[in-house]
A and B are shown apart, each in its own frame.
Chain A
Amino acid sequence: MTVLGYLANGLVFSSIIVLGSIGLSLVYSIADFANFAHGDTMTIGAYAALVTFGAVGGLGGAVLGLPFGFFFALVVGIAAAAVVAVGTEKLIYEPLDIDSIGLLITSIGIAFIYRALIQIRFGSDFTRFDIQPLRPIESLVPYGVRITLHDVAIVGSAVVLVVGLHVLLQYTDLGRKMRAMADNPDLARVSGIRTKRVKLWTWVIGAGLAGAGGVFLGLFNQLAPRMGFNLLLVIFAAVILGGIGSVYGAMAGGFLIGMINQLTPFFSTVVEALPIWPGWLAAALESLISIEYANAIAFVIMVAVLLVRPNGIAGEAAT
């Protein structure tokens, strides 16, 4: 496989991580706590889409190898994730009235509850969307790029969602309020912004993006009750790398972590090819830079970046 091929794989995987990490960062910047139930919110989105897709079917035509029904299911998945997150906020986080550490611990419990409910309803076994998997796009194979139309759909939809969020944050009233609140909640409140309402919208957007990420993760790989949770550590790494609380940082962090994760096989061939001296160093690097340590390598790079830029890639730029 060529570098291009690995880059293409990385792009697809990054798209999913970016969707997850934006939501996490957004909620952190405005609701002010690290939401450990975020991964399981992704799972909820995925399963809601699974049920919807099973119920509505293909709905006739298809685009990019995906039936229309899937896109409808995607929207339902996004909505379901948002509704569940807002419900949790209203029923649990808001009445609790504790500090951010208390909320963080609570969210771990919430994550277990989400996962248990899904497991009760769907069992612990894995499943897939009832969509015929595709072969790689023929015209790209000569370049060593082996991606399917589904992968293109994942990247395309992620780009649409990310651009949409950018427009929302920069050019709409809600976006300005959100940014103001992220910068200084007290000041935002005295200047007349209804912070509670903005907070709710934050949950809707953050969880909705997570739901979309979950649906794409299910399409990319498979659905299992632990799918979102298993990705959570990587998403946290992406968010911290990007700069906690910064949406654009989360995008960059997610992109970088996903890329590094998928590029590891390429790194290992590079290390083997390089004339590294002395020999023991070459041997050590060769055994360490291998795909079984893909996540570990991503974390090492995260630590290295943080040493240079302690506030993450996006630094102080809030939201």
Chain B
Amino acid sequence: MSRDTTDVADRRTLLKLTGGAGILALSGCLSTTDDGGDGSDGSDGGDGDDGSDGSDGGDGDDGGDGSDGDDGDSAGPYEIGMVDSLTGSLSAFGERNQRGAEMALGRVNEVGIGGRELSITVEDSESENQGGIAAAQKLVNQDGVPFLIGAVGSGVSLAIYESVVEGTDVVQLSQNSTGLNLTEFPGLLRMSPSGRSQSLALSNIITDDGYDEVAVTYVNNDYGQSLTDAFVNAYDGEVVYNSPHDQEQQSYSGVISEMNGSGADAWLFITYQAEFATMVNEVFSSGYEAQFYGADSVSGDNVLENTPEGSMDGMKIVVPSAPIEEENYQEFASAFESEYDRQPTSWAAYAYDCVINAALAVQAADEFTGAALQNTVRRVSGPEGETVTSFEAASEILADGGGPDDVDYQGVSGPIDFNEDGDPVGFLQVLEVQGHEYEGIDFVEG
């Protein structure tokens, strides 16, 4: 009898401890998943980071600057700021950005902006909201930059916008953020297309392929949910199955057997590489057949390596891409290769265009202030005006007395043309899996 009671007490203590330690351990996971999330090929990661929005810690007090009136000096360079992920989980993107930005800066300064140079002060966001805010505060409040390029992760860009930029005249242009919710902030511009354009493109492709029924499964977080919602809204056919799944589960056989049971022949996956690879293997070993579609975060060499040959053939994936068939991109790519001895990624192209767009905005503006730049930043790359593909050509038009509406800079990453929400007309590439390799089959405008 006495043994019994101690047993019960033991069990209670253990249960309590298990719970406590479980929470502790889970809190550990939260900080480690970021590292795992960003693949080596750069086609995700920017999205993966979306989950960590929300908490932007202390926002510092802006007051107490205001006197930075060296603008009048015509000799010194124009100072703009850039917040980049030089360290942290998205540092791979930061590196790509730095190469693109450096190249663009070189080209701008070869020509010059009305006899002056452009200079970019780069600060590190550490790929975290807190670090991003600190970096942006330093740039905006101490250095007094009127134009801020930043940041990579959608959560970081938004945190900077909400706690530093919003309510000021400063122009913020994010280089790599693809999160859907950035669209809700028209003052926050970005060079990379919104994930929404992926959803729209996917719905068009699936419709064009003749499927009027689709089964969707998505990763249970902001990224998966928002892309799926956008897809469901855009898709004309019937979504016969729509269910989330958690990350890092040991088996998704329940999900795939339900997708199979839904009767749809087109299956759409909006999830990450590891989860998707598990699903493909389970589909293969269950002997199901379907036409797969996926968002960019399911593509990667690690998926190809860890799935059986032929298990995904015919799958179509939409990824953000530079228009690699355009002449100006090819010129950019070959210059990039001779400079850095490697192929450029679209993430470098976005950063490149950010700098060129900023330089043109500065040149077109009457004075070097946030208010003036707000007025020109969209117009120099907007659809009105003469189409040009390099800074030099655009700069010539402006130097000849042209206004911002006389120039339409076509970026190496796409036509730019910011809409009223601050999102660009992005280019997306459609990849098809052929012979267990990704082959680009088409480009679509976002």
Contact = CB atoms under 8 A, between A and B. Distances in A.
| A is bound by B | yes
A34 B17 CA distance: 9
A248 interface: no
A146 interface: yes
A5 B257 contact: yes
Interface stretch (B137-145, B241-249, B348-356): B241-249
B244 A1 contact: no
Nearest to A17: B250
B254 A222 contact: no
A124 B36 contact: yes
Interface string B279-314: 001001111000000000000001001101001000
A105 B17 CA distance: 9
Given A125-B302, A135-B285, A292-B245, A240 B251 contact: no
Given A133-B308, A136-B287, A262 B248 contact: no
A236 B14 CA distance: 10
Nearest to A291: B254
Contacts of A13: 250-251
Contact of B25 (A108, A124, A141, A221): A108
A104 interface: yes
Given A133-B308, A244-B14, A126 B249 contact: no
Interface residues of B, number: 52
Interface size class, chain A: 35 or more
Contacts of B28: 112
B18 A34 contact: yes
Residues of A contacting B: mostly: helix
Contacts, number: 134
A315 B245 CA distance: 35
Interface in B411-430: none
Interface in A51-81: none
Residues of B contacting A: mostly: helix
B284 A231 contact: no
Contacts of A230: 248-250
A264 B14 CA distance: 28
B253 interface: yes
Nearest to A13: B251
A226 B254 contact: no
Interface in A251-290: 261-262, 264-265, 290
Contact of A292 (B32, B35, B220): B220
Given A135-B285, A221-B250, A240 B21 contact: no
Given A148-B285, A292-B220, A240 B254 contact: no
B244 A316 contact: no
Interface string B3-42: 1100110110111011001101100110010011001100
B333 interface: no
B35 A132 contact: no
B142 to A, nearest CB: 37
Interface of B: 3-4, 7-8, 10-11, 13-15, 17-18, 21-22, 24-25, 28-29, 32, 35-36, 39-40, 220, 243-246, 248-251, 253-255, 257-258, 260-261, 273-274, 277-278, 281, 284-287, 302, 305-306, 308, 311
